[in-house]
Amino acid sequence: MSQRWRLALLAVAAAVAVLVWTEQAPQPESNPTPASDPPRSAALYDPLAAARAETRIGNVEAGIPAQCYTDPAEGHNPCWVCHTGANGRNRTDDLDRQRHYRFTTRARHNPWDNLFVDRRAGIDAIGDDEILAYIRQDNVAALRTALRDVPQKLAWRPDLDYTQGFDDGFARDGSGWRAFRYKPVPAAFWPTNGATDDVLVRLPERFRQEAGHQPSRMIYRINLALLEAAIAIADSVADAELTLPTEPLDETVAGLDLDGDGTLGTALMIRGLPSHYAGAAADAPVRRYDYPVGTEFLHGVRYIDPDAPDLLSRRFKELRYAVKRAHLDDAALQRRVDADAVTQQIGAIPRYAGTALTGQTNDYAWRLFGYIEDAQGRLRLQTREEQLYCMGCHTGIGVTVDQTFSLPRKLPGAAGWGLQTLAGMQDVPQAGSKTPEILQFLQRAGAGDEFRANDEMLQRFFPDGTLDETLVRRAAPGGPDDIRSLIVPSRARALALNKAYMVLVREQSYRLGRTPLLQPAPAALRQIERDDTGLEASGKVYDDGRLWLDWASTRPAP
């Protein structure tokens, strides 16, 4: 058998394994629809209509994000944020993607046509009062109501009532979701580039119960702290040397000496990584960079409300959901990494198990699923092609921690539990670096976004084309500002970005890109004509990109 056929069979075997997980892995837990939902009416819309109507996938490689078509001319390198050497349990070393365009023949033409469309006339046609009224309307309750009598089995039905609020990050509706604060990943997720967002985590029910399977908020707090310790500490720190500030934890409830002081009392610190979780999940091992099976994430993508607390609009652009479906041991994980490499080498189309209704499951046992606005601003189920959009970033890139981004960047301790806010959060460096992260991005990318399209940041931080490092460092530890001074847009820009996305919503042109731009992207390539990015020749390849952060300089004393 030729080497090419061996490689192809390996890729096929990986795809078959995904199908097996899809059938055998535990189903995500679902909570009843909150009682506060409005009554169902005969005029209700069908949130599954667009997904049902899909007959073909136009862009089979929709997982390649628009940012990967950035022109790195003159050494501008935003690619280091995602593409880096293997770290932690993530054995994907994709540093070479900074040096070379590893695209198939199909993917060499940029499919994200919305990057090149001039929508300034459409933006100008929307008034400030109109856009503010629009983004301040709730569109989640109507989705829950519309789904109430839908018989189809879905990967996830919205089971969080945001309107009931949060207590220490815990959803007051009893759904088990807990919100946490995190430093946004540069640069697409900065508010100045188009959206606000929040992320919540939920562990399986037994992780929320004492040994006798009665609900226990304290057990849940402890298990979440153990998960944070396993995920959010850099791989340069050994298990035995690990330390993590926590909210107050009652060790007597778990029977675990979390702070290592030899007694069971109230712990404000985890010292050393315990071998197992607590309560009814005491049989579950704590593994570095490995979420327990059944861990769920909810990612709400919102508009920018310049007058709202923390800029979070009531209206959601998207509700994104992910669930861990199976555990992969080290050998199985390496096989998936090898299979991914083979798929790229032979130019095969990435394959994911699932449908629009069931979500997409990747080679690493994560299922992704989501809702997005329809032309009237109502949330609808994403089509399969629209779901593929999220798969690339959560499947086999070097920087992720168990294919995730947000929890590794959680603000440590009690201050990190709650609905997302940037208030008081400073520009700490990535683990292993001495340079504040946002400053480092601006230095390396030469702009405030991947496409060098954010004129506001260019004008403010690059006067005369040179980065004003002194101004940026004001938000670093020891400075008088926080990161809001760097990555929050002006009111005028926030409104314009909202309008730009509203135009995309009305067009329903997500398959051509979701990036809200105020003008065509100046640094986006329509066609990849060469293999070499030119970054190595200019000495601009960086192997130190990490999600983990060095919070020590701003960490409160326990």
Per-residue pLDDT, 28: 40
Q: How does pLDDT run across 166-196, given as a tens digit for each residue?
A: 999 999 999 999 999 999 999 999 999 999 9
Residues 128-174 have pLDDT tens digits of 999 999 999 999 999 999 999 899 999 999 999 999 999 999 999 99
String of DSSP letters for 23-82: HHSPPPP--PPPTTSPPP-TT---TTHHHHH----S-TTTTS-GGGGB--GGG---GGGT
Look at residue 27 in the predicted model and tell me its pLDDT: 43
- Check whether 322 has a pLDDT greater than 50: yes
Mapping DSSP to helix (H, G, I), strand (E, B) and coil, where does residue 416 land?
helix
Residues 115 and 221 in one domain: no
Cα gap 306→309, rounded to integer Å = 8
Task: Evaluate whether residue 167 is within a structural domain.
Answer: yes
Assess whether 307 and 244 both reside in one domain.
no
Q: How far apart are CA 495 and CA 505, in angstroms?
A: 15
DSSP string over 351-412: --EEETTTEEE-TTSEEEEEEEE-TTS-EEEPPHHHHHHHHTTTSS-TT-BTTBSSGGGBPP
What average pLDDT score do residues 238-265 get?
Answer: 97
The token pair at 510 is: 């997500």
* Percent of the chain at pLDDT exceeding 90: 87
CA–CA separation, 56 and 290 (whole Å)? 35
**Two structure tokens written together for 125:** 């046609």
Task: Select from 223, 247, 281 the last residue of a domain.
Answer: 281
* pLDDT, mean of residues 262-289: 98
CA 489 – CA 456 distance, rounded (Å): 8
Containing H/E element for 270? strand 266-271
Tell me, yes or no, whether 55 lies in a domain: yes
Residues 170 and 252 in one domain: no
Task: Give the pLDDT of residue 384.
Answer: 96
Is-contact 61 498, C-beta < 8 A? no
Task: Give the pLDDT score at 309.
Answer: 87
Q: Look at residue 468 and tell me whether its pLDDT is greater than 80.
A: yes
3-state helix, strand, coil split of the chain in percent (to 5) is 35, 15, 50
- Token output for 232: 């959010």
Q: Report yes or no on 53 lying in a domain.
A: yes
Indicate if the pLDDT at residue 435 is higher than 70.
yes
- Cα 1 to chain centroid distance, Å, stands at 41
**Together in a domain, 507 and 415:** yes
Least confident of 6-15, 65-74, 270-279: 6-15
Cα torsion 280, 283, 286, 289 to 10°: value is -90
Whether the pLDDT of residue 36 is over 80: the answer is no
**Coil vs helix vs strand at 50:** helix
Final residue belonging to a domain, choices 281, 312, 347 = 281
pLDDT at 556 over 80: no
In tens, the pLDDT along 503-548 reads: 999 999 999 999 999 999 999 999 999 999 999 999 999 999 999 9
**Torsions phi, psi for 121 (to 5 deg):** -65, -40
The answer for residues whose C-beta is within 8 angstroms of residue 35's C-beta and 6 or more apart is: none
Q: Which residues contact 74 (CB under 8 A, 6 or more apart)?
A: 446, 538
Asked whether residue 422 carries a pLDDT value surpassing 90, the answer given is yes
**Nearest to residue 256, comparing CAs of 217, 232, 235, 225?**
225
Please indicate, yes or no, whether residues 439 and 419 belong to a single structural domain of this protein. Answer: yes
What is the pLDDT at residue 12? 43
Q: What are the CA-CA distances from residue 138 to residues 212, 446, 466 (Å)?
A: 39, 38, 42
Same domain, 454 and 485: yes
More confident site: 480 or 554: 480
Question: By mean pLDDT, which of 119-133, 323-337, 340-354, 367-381 is the weakest?
Answer: 340-354
Quick check: is 286 in a domain?
no
Is there a domain that residue 384 lies in? yes
What's the whole-number average pLDDT of the chain? 92
8 A C-beta contact, residue 210 and residue 216: yes
Is the domain of 239 the same as that of 110?
A: no
In a domain, 287, yes or no: no
Structure tokens at 62: 């929709």
Residue 216 in any domain: the answer is: yes
158: nearest Cα among 17, 10, 31: 31
> Side chain identity at 238, as an amino acid letter?
A
What is the arithmetic mean of pLDDT over 374-395?
Answer: 95
pLDDT at 427: 98
What pLDDT is recorded for position 37?
57
Q: Considering only CA atoms, which of 178, 158, 190 is closest in space to residue 370?
A: 158
Average pLDDT over residues 6-11: 46
Domain shared by 465 and 381, yes or no: yes
Give residue 554's pLDDT.
Answer: 67
Is the pLDDT score of 374 beyond 60?
yes
Please report whether residue 288 resides in a domain: no
Question: What's the average model confidence in pLDDT over 430-440?
Answer: 97
Would the pLDDT of 492 be above 90?
A: yes
- For the chain, how big is the Rg over CA atoms in Å? 23
344: confidence class by pLDDT, cuts 50, 70, 90: confident
**pLDDT score of 14:** 45
Verify that 357 and 214 share a domain, yes or no. Answer: no
Across the strands, what pairs with 360?
354, 368
Residues 419 and 315 both lie in one domain: yes
Q: Which is it for the CA torsion 544, 546, 552, 555, positive or negative?
A: positive
**How many structural domains are present in the chain?**
2
What is the spatial distance between Cα 42 and Cα 40, in angstroms, rounded to a whole number? 7
177 and 245 share one domain: no
Domain that holds residue 221: 205-281
